[in-house]
Structure 1
Amino acid sequence: MRAAEARCVGLGTSLSELMERAGVAVADIAWRMAAGGPILVLCGPGNNGGDGYVAARILTARGAAVRVAALAPPATDLAQVARRRWTGPVEPLGPDTAPAPLIVDALFGMGLSRPLSDELFDILRGFAGLRVVAVDVPSGVDSDGVAPWLPPLPADVTVALGALKFAHVLLPSAAACGRVLLAPIGIEPDRRIRTLPKPVSGIPSADAHKFSRGMVLVRAGAMPGAAGLAAASALRAGAGYVVLSGSGTPPFAALIAEDGGGYAERLGDKRLGAVILGPGYPSGGDLDSDVAAALDSGKPVVLDASAILSALPRLGGGTRAILTPHEGEFARAFPDIEGDKIHRAMAAAARTRAVVIYKGADTVVAAPDGRVVAAWPGSPWLATAGTGDVLAGACGAMLAGGGDAFDAAVAAVGWHIAAARRIGPGLVADDLMWD
């Protein structure tokens, strides 16, 4: 963001103009949320506080009842200019500061890299329960999304200035940001990270048939129920023809169930668009040989659970592959990769030359070329057994349709979350098959 600001200034836009735009964006949101009620703007000593002074001035000009409480005098040139342009009183922020129905938190922005002091923490916690608009990030949040601490004053709405930060899409900080609204203030950061797009309907063409929509092969292991979920999910997510290879009773009559003997022959079928391995398939010799056969076939693959570890020595070539690890599986597969979740996913994708869906409440999808999608917010109802198998099936369906593996993974995650939101409370993995 600092580099983007410098480029913006180099093209003729002053930093004071950027602050003015930021203040207007915050004022617009605060004006709507206050609905005519009083507003308390909390200003810090840096440029985040300067944004607060600008917002206070604009809100007052619109007729809002605004008070400003400052933690300290402005310490930057920009903030000092913004403070001078605010003609109202400034009260010290302390334990006796009277609240207001709406709080604008402009104390600290993305530059803070340490927890708040105990005194300030207690002061801000005294405003808990009020409606809060945070400027860029709630005060106390590490904008890179790495620090484990949470802010004392979670926001109902966070106005992200110029671009989303890691804190807006990664836990634990994302949960404290409330609804995040992006304010395009004229800064164009150099970034490859985007949020999850809205799911596309994926209506088949008029001349579509079952094989043109994609043929998926799911290999069942010792826990055939999980493979059955993946196979049924592939059908529900859009595949036209799904084969469940191995033991177990298929959950849908439309599934083609075969014993294990036809697996090698199915891998040689030219119509086969994707292979799914791992759901309900524990590690062992059979898994290793089945994974090796799938990779040797050159068919696109979705690798889940134990199949990820099994495939690691063979990945890195030209196979279109999607890996779907949760936190524990990721740690076992990539124990040496450290950092925040986004950079860890990017590093794993670059190493394996595969698309990585790093699952969790703050799912991240990363491609080997550096593209990243953050899928926050997901659905908390997906925190139940079997939903990962359903996601693997959706990945297989999207991958079998052809095209880019990263786009397929993003589409599968979007389908998964949208289905869970429609079902809501009480969701079990099987419900995703009937939604």
Structure 2
Amino acid sequence: MTGGAILTAAQMRAAEQAAFDAGIDPYDLMEQAGAAAAEIIWRAGHKRDVLVLCGPGNNGGDGFVIARRLRERGLSVRVAALGESRTSSAQRARKAWDGPVEDVMTAAPATQLVDALFGTGLSRGLDEPVAERLCALVAHATASYAIDLPSGVETDSGALLSATPRFGACIALGAWKPAHLLHPAAGHCGRLMLGPLDMAPDNDVQRLGAPLLTAPAADAHKYSRGLVAVVGGGMPGASLLASEAAARSGAGSVRRLAADMPTSGPHAIINRQVDRADAIAEQLTDKRIAALLVGPGLGLDEVARARLRAALDSGHRLVLDADALTLLGEEGGRTMGREAILTPHEGEFRRLFGDLPGSKIDRACAAARSSGAVVVYKGADSVIAAPDGRVAVAGGATPWLSTAGTGDVLAGLAAGRLAVTGDPFRAACEAVWLHGDAARRCRPAFVADDLLAALPAAIAARL
């Protein structure tokens, strides 16, 4: 389920230093980086003319290598630099390029534009004239590539330090960086591609990859596959969406506990009409329940609080979403333990955990440690953090997911996968990936109900 390590700027510097200590020459690593990026650009753009923008540091050195390698393939290549090269490796790369070097501020546009001005570790934005010039050159190009990161992006947080154009593609060097997946920077990277280097980056923070699922065993039955209980509330539509998502997640059975009785929906979902908290508590004594979901449509009144308390006291593996998180936040939070998944969006996260410092990854990790639960910090970029330090970051979610009810579907999926796997972190990762894949299978302007019909195909693709 891993999609590769994600390294901060400091971690990337440490990985490079480890490679140097192991005997790799810094300039040889630059040659590898430039060759890997040039190969990708060649395959994408073939013989269209190219303008390579080179900065003063090692990212600019990569650019000179790219330019030389592309010219060797027969492309019409021009180079424009932002001042003199300052590092020894970048100076060697510039010397190896025996063509003219133009000024970035006056260079004419080209069909393909390569941004190798600044990469990992940028601490301040580009000067305004330089940022404007970069945006103009990208706008004139038919195809654009950012080398390692778009210039003007902060590596660890994904913040935009200055005006940043939207690139068609971003070629990460050696490892993914947080800014490749965290917004707003992720929205400026375009298609993500990885240029491998002779180094072995490793980290507990990983890009979320496609899960490998398994079909039920030949002797499986509805309880061995996992019974999910969903506690409903004052807004029945939300718990109905979540229940159907759980039913389509691979779990064997779904039991919805609510005061209302639906007039439509899958007949396979067991609806039990219970309105008192003590009655819900009694229903939750069933030891066959493998995962319990509370929150979608729960409400914020005293009845909702009583239902939440019954769920928290049940001892079952929990998925807490929506109103359950708001109620927990009002009560000052609670240590959940390792058998729980919390699925807050930005507002719910702040209500529950406060205004934590650092990047979205840092905040998710801190929340997981303090709560003892797996935290799915939702958004256009979703960060899944476990209390033991494991993190998966999912990017590339379609903006059409920003519609009512899609969070209820995700919560139901998480509960279903938790019932199937018994592993909160694995379940959360699988749920986020399947949720995104189901959305990609839907047409634009879909509603949350449409995701439900797409879930079986998303699951089938990973068996």
> Structure 2-normalised TM-score?
0.90
- Structure-1 residue corresponding to 2:93: 82
Alignment match, 1:154: 166
2:425 alignment counterpart: 406
| Corresponding residue for residue 30 of structure 1 | 41
2:324 paired residue among 307, 312, 334: 307
Question: Does residue 1:276 correspond to 2:287, yes or no?
Answer: no
Amino acid at match of 1:398: R
1:318-369 Cα offsets, whole Å, 9 max, x none, are: 4500001011101111114122111111110010000001111111111111
Q: Which residue does the alignment assign to 1:16?
A: 27
Give the alignment partner of residue 184 of structure 1, picking from 163, 184, 196.
196
Whether contact under 8 Å (1:315, 1:354) holds in the other structure is: no
Deviations 1:246-274 (CA, angstroms, capped at 9, x unpaired): 12344221111111254223311121101
Aligned residues: 434
Q: 2:283 aligns with which of 260, 266, 283?
A: 266
**Other structure's SS at 1:104 match:** strand
Q: Which residue of 2 aligns with 1:6?
A: 17
SS in 1 for 2:144: strand
Q: Tell me how far 1:220 sits from its aligned partner.
A: 0.7
2:362, 2:333 → 1: CA distance? 23
Q: Is contact 1:303–1:324 with CA below 8 Å preserved after alignment?
A: yes
Matching residue of 1:329: 348
Q: Percent identity?
A: 49
Mapped to 1, the partners of 2:350 and 2:235 lie a distance apart of 23
**Aligned letter for 1:44?**
G
1:256 aligns with 270
SS at match of 2:421: coil
- The 1-side partners of 2:117 and 2:110 are apart by 16
1:212-251 to 2 correspondences below 5 Å = 212-250=224-262, 251=265
* Aligned counterparts, 1:45-194, within 5 A: 45-94=56-105, 96-127=106-137, 128-130=139-141, 131-149=143-161, 151-194=163-206
What is the CA–CA distance in structure 2 between the aligned matches of 1:38 and 1:426, rounded to whole Å?
38
AA partner of residue 23 (structure 2):
G
The Cα offsets for residues 200-248 of structure 1, whole Å up to 9 and x where unpaired, read as: 4542222111111110111111111111111111001112111110123
Contact 2:256 2:272 in 1 (8 A): yes
Return the letter of the residue paired with 2:224: S
Distance in structure 1 (CA, Å) of the matches to 2:35 and 2:414:
42
- Report how far residue 287 of structure 1 moved: 2.6
Q: Higher RCO, 1 or 2 (CA under 8 Å, sep at least 6)?
A: 2
Alpha-carbon distance in 2 for matches of 1:22, 1:292 = 55
Output one character per residue of 1:164-197: Cα deviation in whole Å (capped at 9) or x when no partner: 1111000000010011111220223342111222
Q: CA deviation at 1:395?
A: 0.6
Contact kept, 8 Å, 1:192 with 1:371, in 2: the verdict is yes
C-alpha distance in 1, partners of 2:18/2:442? Answer: 46
User: How far apart, in 2, do the equivalents of 1:27 and 1:346 lie?
Assistant: 36
Q: Deviations over 1:255-307 (max 9, x none)?
A: 11111254223311121101110101122323333222222221100001121
CA contact (8 A) 1:150 1:173 kept: no
Secondary structure of the structure 2 residue equivalent to 1:232: helix
Residues 93-139 of structure 1: per-residue CA shift (max 9 Å, x gap): 11x31111111111111121212111112211221141111110011
Over residues 11-70 of structure 1, what are the superposed CA-to-partner deviations in whole Å (9 max), with x where a residue is unaligned? Answer: 111111111110101111121222211111111111000000111111122222111111
Range 188-197 or range 372-381, more displaced = 188-197
CA contact (8 A) 1:138 1:151 kept: no
Whether 1:358 aligns to 2:348 is no
Distance 1:255 1:98 in 2: 64
Query: TM-score, normalised to structure 1's length?
Result: 0.96
| 1-structure distance, mates of 2:19, 2:173 | 14
Residue ranges of structure 1 left out of the alignment (5+ in a row) = none
Amino acid at match of 1:161: L
Q: 1:350–1:367: 8 Å Cα contact kept in structure 2?
A: yes
Letter matched to residue 300 of structure 2: S
